[in-house]
């Protein structure tokens, strides 16, 4: 393999963050590859909301449009999983990496951008995973407007559930908090009551749903509380194994730390989107990818200038 086989940037992950980064880098005339396993986080949802000019578009259609734009610059994401990123040089030397793919192939690259997203972990409660993204929802900014004024519930899976319910009340006046395994404090109960949020005590057994949607929430004692949508807070598990294996430092929140421009603590390694920011909606993830790409290009320009100067000085000397 020669330096001509080397990419400027390999992007791991072809969701909103990775594709927007790819667009910027392709337009900057960089030689790039985008690797993607094709499981964007919002795939279970029929529509995507809150993205100016794309509100209500199916998530897959956004990515398809992005891939079509990239194709105009000669870039086509590769359906492959990156299993490992190996740092070949670093320190005083310009960074360079080998990306190993599942199946054994590998790619050499000057920089890497990881945009692998996250996994939403849900408890093993019958109906929860099956309804995820349809009538089991997590983000009121994504789907609150679609269930406004409907009889809606919030399932308490973590202490923040009370705050989640108080937020969703903005969209849904007929709101029930299922305490499940949580015991809200007296102060929290006062806040919930003041906003007219009903509190249903006891453990939830399962969701009563079919193809038409959610009908109710069945409690352990057999009661069924009629609801048409249920909000839950999943546990956000970043797909950051490639980054942590490279030694990227974590922040206090346990996520790989970036400097706001996508750069991690390891030179030459950037990250953007949900892998480093669980709360980034699509438009934010795309913007983070765009910023990270511009920083990587600037960094490569500096490296190219330094190499050209060294060559010129060498030739003169």
Ligand X SMILES: Cc1cc2nc3c(=O)[nH]c(=O)nc-3n(C[C@H](O)[C@H](O)[C@H](O)COP(=O)(O)OP(=O)(O)OC[C@H]3O[C@@H](n4cnc5c(N)ncnc54)[C@H](O)[C@@H]3O)c2cc1C
Which positions lie near ligand X, rule CB under 6 A? 12-18, 35-42, 44-45, 48-51, 81-82, 115-117, 120, 133, 142, 239, 273-274, 280-283, 285
Locus of tokens 């996250």: 118
Task: Find, among 279, 306, 276, the residue nearest to 291 by Cα.
Answer: 276
Nearest approach in angstroms of CB 300 to ligand X is 22
Give 114 or 192: the residue with its C-beta nearer to ligand X: 114
Q: Which is nearer to ligand X, 133 or 153 (CB)?
A: 133
Give the CA diameter of the chain: 87
Q: Least separation, in Å, of the C-beta of 281 and ligand X?
A: 3
Residue 161 and residue 155 in contact, taking contact as beta carbons nearer than 8 Å: yes
How far is residue 304 from each of residues 116, 240, 309, measured CA to CA in Å?
28, 29, 9
Is 23 or 282 the residue whose CB approaches ligand X more closely?
282
Nearer to ligand X, 120 or 188 (CB): 120
- Kindly state the smallest distance separating residue 266's Cβ from ligand X, in Å: 17
For residues 100 and 84, the answer to whether their CB atoms sit within 8 Å is yes
Closest CA to 128 of 229, 25, 33, 220: 229
Q: How many Cα atoms within 13 Å fall on the side-chain side of residue 189?
A: 9
Residue closer to ligand X by CB (options 101, 250) is 101
Report the nearest approach of ligand X to the CB of residue 160 (Å).
17
| Residue with the two structure tokens 């599942």 | 102
Least Cβ distance, residue 189 to ligand X (angstroms): 30
Q: Please name the residues in contact with 123: beta carbons below 8 A apart, sequence gap of 6 or more.
A: 157
User: What's the closest the beta carbon of residue 17 comes to ligand X, in angstroms?
Assistant: 3
From the CB of 181, what's the least distance to ligand X, in Å? 23
Q: How far is the CB of 288 from ligand X (least distance, A)?
A: 8
On whether the CB atoms of residues 233 and 177 are closer than 8 A, the answer is no
Given the complex with ligand X, which of 197 and 230 has the nearer CB atom? 230
83 vs 303, beta carbon nearer ligand X: 83
Say if residue 74 is exposed, middle or buried (CB neighbours under 10 Å; 0-12, 13-18, 19+): exposed
Closest to ligand X by CB, 17 or 162: 17
Neighbours of 97 (CB within 10 A): 25
Q: Give the tokens for residue 206.
A: 């399962």
| Residues in contact with 295: Cβ distance below 8 Å, sequence separation at least 6, in sequence order | 261, 262, 263, 270
Smallest gap from residue 156 Cβ to ligand X (A): 19
Q: Which is nearer to ligand X, 48 or 219 (CB)?
A: 48
Q: Is the separation of the CB atoms in 152 and 172 below 8 Å?
A: yes
Distances 296 to 67, 86, 173, 253 between C-alpha atoms, Å: 21, 18, 47, 25
């Amino acid at each position: 393999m020669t330096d001509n086989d080397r990419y400027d940037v390999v992007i791991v992950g072809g969701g909103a963050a990775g594709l927007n980064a790819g667009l910027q880098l392709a337009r900057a005339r960089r030689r790039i590859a985008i690797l993607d396993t094709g499981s964007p986080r919002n795939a279970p949802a029929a529509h995507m909301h809150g993205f100016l000019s794309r509100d209500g578009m199916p998530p897959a259609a956004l990515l398809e449009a992005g891939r079509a734009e990239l194709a105009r610059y000669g870039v086509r994401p590769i359906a492959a999983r990156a299993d490992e990123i190996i740092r070949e040089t670093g320190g005083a030397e310009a960074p360079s990496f080998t990306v190993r793919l599942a199946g054994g192939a590998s790619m050499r690259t000057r920089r890497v951008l990881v945009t692998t997203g996250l996994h939403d972990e849900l408890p093993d409660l019958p109906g929860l995973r099956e309804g995820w993204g349809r009538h089991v929802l997590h983000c009121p900014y994504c789907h609150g407007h679609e269930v406004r004024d409907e009889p809606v519930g919030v399932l308490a899976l973590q202490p923040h559930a009370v705050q989640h319910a108080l937020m969703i009340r903005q969209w849904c006046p007929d709101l029930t908090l299922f305490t499940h395994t949580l015991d809200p404090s007296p102060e929290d109960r006062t806040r919930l009551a003041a906003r007219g949020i009903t509190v249903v005590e006891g453990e939830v057994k399962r969701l009563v749903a079919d193809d038409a949607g959610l009908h109710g929430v069945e409690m352990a004692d057999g009661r069924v509380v009629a609801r048409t949508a249920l909000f839950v807070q999943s546990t956000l598990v970043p797909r950051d194994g490639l980054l942590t294996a490279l030694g990227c430092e974590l922040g206090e929140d346990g996520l790989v730390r970036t400097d706001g421009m996508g750069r991690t603590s390891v030179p030459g390694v950037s990250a953007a989107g949900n892998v480093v920011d669980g709360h980034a909606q699509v438009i934010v993830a795309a913007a983070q990818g765009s910023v990270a790409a511009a920083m990587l290009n600037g960094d490569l320009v500096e490296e190219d200038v330094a190499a050209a100067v060294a060559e010129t000085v060498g030739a003169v000397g």
